Amino acid sequence: MTEFLSFFKTLTPTGYLFLFLTVLTLFSAIGVVTARNPIYSVLALIATFFCLSGHYVLLNAQFLAAVNIIVYAGAIMVLFLFTIMFLNLRKEDEESKTNLTKMASVVVGGLLMIMLITIFRAKSAQVPTVSATSFSAKTGLVENLGQLLYSDYILPFELASVLFLVAMVGAVMLGKREAGDRHF
Amino acid sequence: MDLTVLLVKGIIILVIFGITLLIATYSTYAERKVAAFLQDRLGPNRAGPWGLLQPIADAGKMFFKEDFIPSQASKWLFILGPCLAMLTALMSSAVIPFGDSIRFDNYSIPVQGIEINIGVLYIFGVVSLGVYGIMVGGWASNNKFSLLGAIRAASQNISYEIALGLSMIAILMMTGSLSVRAIVDQQASFFEWNIFTQPLGFVIFLTCAFAECNRTPFDLPECETELVGGYHTEYSSMKLGFYLFAEYINMFVSSAFVSALYFGGFHYPFMNEVGSALERSMGAITGHNIATAIGFVVFFGKIFFFIFFFMWVRWTLPRFRYDQLMNLGWKTLIPLSILNVVITGAGLLYNFKYATWAIVIVMVLMVIVSGARAPKREAIPQQV
């Protein structure tokens, strides 16, 4: 207990913010999976994205924080909410909750957890400690990010854009109405 | 950061907050007066001199009405809706530079809530969140009309956000920075205002700002003829007041944003001459502060013009039909804004800032040609 207290005494304000945000993130993430109503689930997911953006700000990656909010909270989650509102999933859908699906989801989830824990415990994945000499507070800012994206990571970046283009064309093809299609 | 600096910063934030609320309050009054003028009426003139106390009377009425929550509604989300609308509306004015800087002793404090190097993205993010208030409120009401209003709001905001973002990208290319202050500073001389370098971008941006604020001609989420009251059908009392108020705050913020992005913010012609004359006659510090104050007033003049423009359009144009709205967004504004970005980039390669005028000229020529080639309609005399 005393160790615990002394740990809290050594924390900086940033440390307190980090702990607070982490608790909030975890609770809203748990809310996503436990909420019975899909709308509450989506709202909890939006809260999770906000907390993640808070973490990005703490890491001084403001651009990433803003883009996370614009893309995920601002666009994708609006579409999620939009679709769920249309589906009107108020009544419980009992068919998809048989014992078999429950067992399967527990097994899959457990395997994923074991995998993640092994990855995080591996020596090569340990987060290096901060050294005051090589630390630059400006690493996460837009200018540096842009420089990096358009020099070292130009190939993955361009490949991702091609992927988006393919996805867009695919969506247009799916949504296109052929001559004989039903008009609804 | 010094305690005095922190104090002045706090005062600036409070003042911006207060001014936002005050302007939103009196926008309701101005809206009625403008509507009355355009419809040849008098407008509110009973409460106080020239009806100036009308907004306060309205607020009093809103507070004392019955605060009704439908029994089948999802109670917490029903309350959360207007809160979200208000919160997102108030958040976005934080990064707009309202003036140059205040100097005292050795300090120089910019007249701005907070200066971050991603200001434009911040505003864009907050604006894209604005739709949640409407969606959550509309869904929680448990009313089909509200739900339809909410869904319309969502699809409309998503569609116009793309064109909004693309027209903003052209501005970012001109400036090379995401900070709103850097964008304003880049427009220091009159003919470098972005309205002159980005005329098409400005039109697209303004149209999308109308759509994002849910103002007429894009007020389909609350279209009375089809949806009773739209997303706020079930709302009463101050919750309804918050929704209406949030709309006026959004209007103020988008007016401020348009003036900052396209009309030079707090800059005005011969600003440097006026500033140096003031500094010579009154001393460096006082002169600079007075010059800042003039810039502040000029900026608010621009904002008031755009607020008036919002009202002018509302009481002049009829509402779009839904398919017209979607066609305009996806088939006109998005391709045009992509073209705008490409032409701007091509112009910047050759250090020519006014390249997008080419699109405007081509479009005007096309309109003239199609107008000239259209078959002339003979006036048919009325049969008696």
Q: Does B326 touch chain A (CB under 8 A)?
A: no
Which 3 state secondary structure label does DSSP give B104? strand
Report the residue from A75, A81, A142 with minimal CB separation from B135: A81
**Is B125 in Cβ contact with A69 (below 8 Å)?**
yes
pLDDT at A109: 92
Q: Give the residue-averaged pLDDT of A77-96.
A: 71
pLDDT at A114: 93
A–B: how many Cβ contacts below 8 A?
62
Amino acid at the residue A9: K
- Fold designation for A8-91: Four Helix Bundle (Hemerythrin (Met), subunit A) (1.20.120)
**Is A73 in Cβ contact with B128 (below 8 Å)?**
yes
pLDDT at A160: 92
Q: How far is A81 from chain B (nearest CA, A)?
A: 8
Sign of CA dihedral B224, B227, B231, B237: positive
Residue of B nearest to A68 (CA): B125
**Is B128 in Cβ contact with A78 (below 8 Å)?**
yes
Cα-trace Rg, chain B: 23
Least confidently predicted of A1-10, A114-123, B41-50: A1-10
- Cβ of A132: how many Cβ atoms within 10 Å? 5
pLDDT at A163: 94
pLDDT at B115: 78
More reliable by pLDDT, A44 or A137: A44
Please give the mean pLDDT across all residues of chain A.
Answer: 82
**Residue A167: half-sphere exposure toward Cβ, Cα within 13 Å:** 6
Eight-state DSSP code of residue A121? H
Which 3 state secondary structure label does DSSP give A125? helix
Residues 71 through 130 of chain B touching chain A, CB cutoff 8 Å: 74, 77, 116-118, 121-122, 124-125, 128-129
- Which residues lie closer than 8 Å to A61 by C-beta, 6 or more apart? A139, A140, A141, A145
Domain residues of chain A, as ranges?
8-91, 137-178
Chain centroid to Cα B140, Å, comes to: 27
pLDDT band at A182 (very low <50, low <70, confident <90, very high): low
Which 3 state secondary structure label does DSSP give A105? helix
What residues does B103 pair with on adjacent strands? B108
**Is B121 in Cβ contact with A73 (below 8 Å)?**
no
Q: Find the helix packing angle between B334-349 and B357-373, rounded to 10°.
A: 130
Spatial CA neighbour of A142 closest among B126, B184, B121: B121
Structure tokens at B176: 């090379």
**Is B121 in Cβ contact with A70 (below 8 Å)?**
yes
pLDDT band at A165 (very low <50, low <70, confident <90, very high): very high
d(CA A66, CA A54): 10
Residue of A nearest to B77 (CA): A40
pLDDT at A25: 92
The reply to whether omega before B217 is within 30° of 0 (cis) is yes
Which stretches of chain B are DSSP H helices?
A: 3-38, 54-64, 75-91, 119-140, 144-175, 180-186, 194-197, 199-212, 224-227, 237-262, 271-282, 284-314, 322-327, 334-349, 357-373
Chain centroid to Cα B170, Å, comes to: 18
pLDDT band at A27 (very low <50, low <70, confident <90, very high): very high
d(CA B27, CA B154): 25
A110-126 CB burial, b ≥16 within 10 A, e <16: eeeeeeeeeeeeeeeee
Q: Does B142 touch chain A (CB under 8 A)?
A: no
Structure tokens at B327: 């066609």
Residue of B nearest to A42 (CA): B136
Cα-trace Rg, chain A: 22
Q: How far is B225 from chain A (nearest CA, A)?
A: 22
What pLDDT tens digit does each residue of chain B (384 aa) get?
577 778 888 888 888 888 888 888 888 888 888 888 888 888 888 888 888 888 888 888 888 888 888 887 778 888 888 888 888 888 888 888 888 877 777 777 777 777 788 888 888 888 888 888 888 888 888 888 888 888 888 888 888 888 888 888 888 888 888 888 888 888 887 777 888 888 888 989 999 888 888 887 887 777 777 777 778 888 888 888 888 888 889 889 889 889 888 888 888 888 778 778 877 887 777 888 888 888 888 888 999 999 999 888 888 888 888 888 888 888 888 888 998 899 888 888 888 878 788 888 888 888 889 888 877 777 777 776
Residues of B in contact with A70 (CB under 8 A): 121, 124-125, 128
A interface toward B at CB cutoff 8 Å?
39, 43, 46, 62-63, 66-67, 69-70, 73-75, 78-79, 81-82, 85-86, 141-142
d(CA A6, CA A4): 6
pLDDT at B72: 78
Q: How far is B262 from chain A (nearest CA, A)?
A: 22
d(CA B328, CA B332): 5
What is the ipTM metric for this complex? 0.78
pLDDT band at A90 (very low <50, low <70, confident <90, very high): low
d(CA A78, CA A84): 10
